[in-house]
Chain A
């Protein structure tokens, strides 16, 4: 950074030119160069901001009521108010390396799923920019199969005067990805803590406390035939254990996902097999 000055540089004696010393002119030139460099730097940084879009291969689960990804990225102001209201802290903000836009909210269902224990989809209520909505404004299209046939009935509120969740579109669909490992299909039961003693995820258990979610680790199971994904699914009629025929012709029990599935991820979170046999396809629509 040294500004080397030639000792006693001869001054141009031209009278016609405006009196700008050589040093001054040089300084000005350097300044222009620096300005161009910093302009390039700022623009480069700006472009790096688009990387998440380029690498948006990993589809992440967005909070309930999220607009389609492109509209979501356009409207999210990255304030985290949805994070703050969630009673089970299912929502996290993406970091630089997550590839889904710095500061935008997402849900890692296996870590902590949305179990709707807030009863009212409070993240939508908290969103100041309409990135999360109960119902999309008219000018935004609804993808085929994204719309729920009926307002989902929350099992926890089934006896209430208003048992439904204010949610018009699904955020994903559950899929049995590893049927070969599914305990239900193998006809096995499950005993113990669903995700082990160290697991920190929480859930609302109606029989324990309607308003206070507790640790999954504090709620051990003992079932003769594993049905945890069905048992803990918060939405009525979204998943059930059905009798199916395996390729070899034998009769098996298997969890089957139905149209009311909103993609909350509780099944993925509670599955006691590692890794989970059932996962949410984020932003997937219902295909009949």
Chain B
């Protein structure tokens, strides 16, 4: 059972996913308070030394490399399956068939249901399969492990951060509630107009189709988004606009796969927050913020593993709820 501190944080994190700012906790459990207290008394010089050692240590990219490999493999599998006509994975990311099984993207399915107002069996089967799949795999893990636009945005982000470092641009951050608003607007538009308008502009669908059926002019829209992200606002589409992320985030609320944070071993040097794709989910690692000794990271986390790679003390690890107890 979840203790009241974690329960409150769990609900808080759902609100944070919908766009609320992460804030300081009101109450902290006794054991966590003790650790915070102890940390205030530890020798600062020793911590400094450890942080310096970490800075000079070789960067680890285990999870990132695995993730990129999976993302590229999945997307190429679609392409290869079509080009070689082996019919193992047919379709595109919006809807496909894997050895005959229907798989339908949850957000696309939702758009179609709202616009068409009629649901056929194949749609239900495909949506159900994908729902269960991402429930088991971590919800927004779709974003960082499968979405082809995400990878482009990650590379664009690298350029953006380099430009920021050179003081050529600054990140124009935006209110995260916009994503919730855009989810509602696109849902209402589909329902009211009977046209799945989001599908027409979704960079995920456009890039996925371009990879499979060949490049199209619609890629210009994707390019425009990337330019915006490089020069103005860090990973703006994924962070502030994409309703797909929110849809999978909601699935992630119930997912047993997440990153877990252990307070005791953490140095609070904050490298994880620097590499994190959605830093508002990692507010708990700030000194004095953790409400308990072990904290699961919230549903908006894309389970990308960048923080796991960068954490020098192993305070952030992948965790499957219930599995660790079983083992």
Contact = CB atoms under 8 A, between A and B. Distances in A.
Interface of A: 1-3, 31-32, 34-35, 38-39, 42-43, 45-46, 48-50, 52-53, 70-71, 73-81, 83-85, 93, 95-97, 101-103, 126, 128-130, 137, 139-140
B240 interface: yes
B217 A128 contact: no
DSSP majority for the A interface?
A: helix
B126 A46 contact: no
B181 interface: yes
B255 interface: no
A73 B217 contact: no
A42 to B, nearest CB: 5
A122 to B, nearest CB: 11
Nearest to B121: A130
A79 B173 contact: no
Given A42-B241, A102-B206, A128-B97, A35 B91 contact: no
Interface stretch (B53-61, B101-109, B307-315): B101-109
B195 A80 contact: no
A77 B195 contact: no
Given A96-B220, A102-B201, A102-B206, 10 more contacts: A45-B221, A46-B198, A53-B195, A77-B95, A78-B209, A79-B92, A80-B209, A101-B195, A128-B122, A130-B122
17 contacts: A34-B172, A45-B201, A49-B197, A49-B200, A50-B197, A76-B196, A77-B112, A79-B96, A80-B212, A80-B213, A81-B91, A84-B87, A96-B220, A103-B205, A103-B206, A129-B112, A130-B118
A78 B112 CA distance: 10
Please give me the 7 A-B residue pairs with the lowest Cβ-Cβ distance, nearest first.
A79-B95, A49-B200, A49-B197, A74-B115, A130-B120, A35-B175, A75-B116
B91 A96 contact: no
Nearest to B87: A84
Interface of B: 82, 87, 90-92, 94-97, 102, 104-105, 108-109, 112, 115-118, 120, 122-123, 126, 169-170, 172-175, 178, 181-182, 185-186, 189, 193-201, 205-206, 209, 212-213, 216-218, 220-221, 232-233, 236, 240-241
Interface centre among A43, A130, A137 (most CB of B within 10 A): A130
B178 A77 contact: no
Given A71-B116, A79-B94, A129-B95, A1 B217 contact: no
A34 B118 contact: no
A214 to B, nearest CB: 17
A126 B94 contact: no
A128 B201 contact: no
Contacts of B109: 77
A255 B233 CA distance: 62
Contacts of A139: 118
B215 to A, nearest CB: 9
Nearest to A2: B170
A85 B90 contact: yes
Contacts of B196: 73-74, 76-78
A2 B164 CA distance: 12
A44 B161 CA distance: 27
A74 B213 contact: no
A256 B105 CA distance: 46
B112 A46 contact: no
Contacts of A78: 92, 94, 108, 196, 199, 205, 209
A81 B97 contact: yes
Contacts of B126: 128
A3 B193 CA distance: 42
A43 to B, nearest CB: 7
A81 B101 CA distance: 13
B82 A50 contact: no
Nearest to A48: B201
B120 A46 contact: no
B116 A31 contact: no
A209 B206 CA distance: 37
A103 B118 CA distance: 21
Nearest to A30: B172
Nearest to A130: B120
Nearest to B196: A74
B147 to A, nearest CB: 15
A50 B193 contact: yes
B197 to A, nearest CB: 4
B123 A128 contact: yes
A129 B94 CA distance: 11
Nearest to A139: B118
Contacts of A45: 201, 221
Contacts of A103: 199-200, 205-206, 209, 218
Contacts of A130: 118, 120, 122-123
Contacts of A74: 112, 115-117, 194-196
B112 A3 contact: no
B240 A93 contact: no
B217 A129 contact: no
A137 B196 CA distance: 20
Nearest to A92: B213
B108 A77 contact: yes
B104 A96 contact: no
Q: Choose among A34, A48, A101, A129 the residue with the greatest number of B CB atoms under 10 Å from its CB.
A: A129
Given A42-B178, A74-B115, A101-B200, A129 B209 contact: no
B126 to A, nearest CB: 6
